[in-house]
Structure 1
């Protein structure tokens, strides 16, 4: 790197820190998750405003590959934490209603998304129509678990049963959405598509070697064994973090080599982390991975994503397509989640709350759109419109909950139309831990 490139990189990173912090705080003051402001910051520094002059000054072309590298590292750590926090024990006591809400809120937007893709394909499908249609359907089906958790914490719904159902449904959504994206990646693979045949070997290694190895790694403090009573360590060590990080990078390498995207390797490695350790230990691992990610790496990802969003040439036809995208995304999620809840005799008020929550897309949607753009499944024009959809659907969740609460006598009355379990049913959920990356 030349001295000029280093100076430009330092200026760009300082700008990323300042913009993400400023707009994230502004979003929080407006009752929005900070990720809304951070995504908006990425769009504002892109080519949409002032013919891209701020982007050309702050992020010259010769430092953008370095920013992309930081953004990809942020994605790796983010997806690892998502996989680690995927806790299927949330389903306990609410399996039926959560599965119904989740599957309906995936199938309805997926079907509508495929129909929309047939309309958009002639103009926006760079390659084959099959992969394009599957991708649009998958992108419409996403619910952002981290943003949803933050909204539940801020609204006071985190300890209610409707909040528990929403989190459990979002956990199932994560699995289904990433599975759909894996199918898209396979269908849209390039010349090295034959390498995906090694996927069963990779999964076997993860289940039979990596998962037991990680459990043993965290079983006890170095130099001591776990006792028969299941005693486990309370503090994570630097050596343990190095092993986890090294394994994480190797897992990403494996999935990238197979022709899948590295995000799958990060997500699956996080899912392999042991759940039988103490909750304090799990929080220590995730907090250490999240700290730098939240402060710098993910804001770099937002900027890199925003640099590819150009709305300056948006015409009436583009606005019409944006309207169709928003209509499809919102209608599919609302109708699907509402119908799934009503099928299990959930009252209308609770069903409406669940529908509003499941429509949240946030950063998870941005990750999926970035994967699609990198694979060439969608082009820059459609990518920009879909990013706007992600921003709108994330921002509308809080106001909708406030409106529903006001109709019931005030925002604090949201708890009045949540149904709490009887004492003989499931135990009260543990206090919700707000993911640091959304804070």
Structure 2
């Protein structure tokens, strides 16, 4: 390890500590620490102070952080809670979002504002569920009716674009990518079926005994599973995020519920305590601040893209959930599911590598994503008001029957 790498790691660790401290200092406004991670990354990176650099080692840690972000998102997604109406409405909403996104992107391409309809269209359809989940947990919304609907909408808004990126932005033809995706899904379903079978008592006993031992065997099993699914996805020519997300879904059912709950706490410690902050800080270090500040015209694109996030991703919620949620909660859900960032970074990187996206638009999109992480959760939770106290009842009659009083 070189001295420059060691210094960069030290500054990244310092930024990772300062981010939640700064978030706590402005707790009144409930600004998520992820925003400070991005901003501190910009400050210590080449764009401002130039104290830290992204070399191969640091970039590898950042990639692990991105993979773990999607693993945690998959792990926190309880399919049994969101199946049925939550998933159906989330999928319907995302399809409407895709149509709107491609339509808006088509207009932008026709005016010469952007180069690729597909890239911009997909960028407008994403939701940062990995970023929203900690906020939902901190506010006690996980397990409520509103929380399950938002988690479902966010999961589809993150997983759907990953699938689209895999199929349409992969190195092979869409047909080939689609066939490879089917192979991957079948492999994942087969593995999920295997791990859901009754576990041998010896397996359960060994995993439980080592959950608190120095070996941390269940954690190692999860790391192995994640790595294996990422390797399979990459070797099939698919995006690694697909493998990480699928590993999270499988990892959730690999262990009994009591072990899974404790293991989830450990994985969150690894993810949010170490790897995931590295990803966001390094993303800030790689942010092209010069492109964003090169002219007022480029800077003006940030609020424009933020408005498009709300129109394309948020507006459909007002229609899709009209028989499920009262108006105030629909507005809150629409605003919150417009929060986006991690996939924006991935999509803009693809656009820059393929020359299908101008650096100015890439910087403006990421800047709008950063602004969405700052502004939209504050607005969304303010609109929501008091925490919905009812536990999840999305499958109950009151959840779908408009004649029943809304909460």
Matched, 1:389 2:368: yes
Paired residue for 1:433? none
Paired residue for 1:358? 337
Paired residue for 1:305? 283
Residues 319 and 355 (structure 1), Cα distance of their counterparts in 2 relative to 1, 3 Å cut = same
1:320 shift after superposition = 3.5
1:188-227 equivalences under 5 Å are 189=171, 197-208=179-190, 210-215=191-196, 219-222=200-203
The partner residue of 2:101 within 89, 107, 112 is: 112
Q: Is residue 101–residue 122 contact of structure 2 (8 Å, CA) maintained in 1?
A: no
Paired residue for 2:21? 25
Q: For 1:183, what is the secondary structure of its paired residue?
A: helix
Paired residue for 1:58? 52
Matched, 1:72 2:51: no
1:238 shift after superposition = 3.9
1:83-232 equivalences under 5 Å are 83-91=74-82, 95-96=84-85, 99-105=88-94, 107-108=96-97, 111-116=100-105, 118-120=107-109, 122=112, 124-125=114-115, 132-158=116-142, 160-186=144-170, 189=171, 197-208=179-190, 210-215=191-196, 219-222=200-203
The partner residue of 2:319 within 316, 322, 339 is: 339
Instruction: Could you tell me which runs of 5 or more consecutive residues in structure 1 were left unpaired when the two chains were aligned.
Output: 126-131, 226-231, 406-410, 428-439
User: What TM-score, normalized by structure 2, do the two folds share?
Assistant: 0.80
Residues 285 and 270 (structure 1), Cα distance of their counterparts in 2 relative to 1, 3 Å cut = same
- Deviations along 1:391-424, whole A, 9 cap, x unmatched? 111222333245436xxxxx44x549x8985997
Q: Is residue 167–residue 177 contact of structure 2 (8 Å, CA) maintained in 1?
A: no
User: What TM-score, normalized by structure 1, do the two folds share?
Assistant: 0.75
Provide the rounded CA distance (Å) in 2 between the counterparts of 1:329 and 1:88.
Answer: 26
1:285 shift after superposition = 3.4
Instruction: Provide the alpha-carbon RMSD of the alignment.
Output: 3.7
Number of equivalent positions: 390
Provide the rounded CA distance (Å) in 2 between the counterparts of 1:365 and 1:87.
Answer: 25
Paired residue for 1:268? 246
Provide the rounded CA distance (Å) in 1 between the counterparts of 2:277 and 2:252.
Answer: 29
Moved more, 161-170 or 324-333: 161-170
1:109 shift after superposition = 5.9
The partner residue of 1:257 within 199, 211, 235 is: 235
Residues 287 and 117 (structure 1), Cα distance of their counterparts in 2 relative to 1, 3 Å cut = farther
Paired residue for 1:437? none
Q: For 1:119, what is the secondary structure of its paired residue?
A: helix
Q: For 1:67, what is the secondary structure of its paired residue?
A: helix
1:329 shift after superposition = 0.9
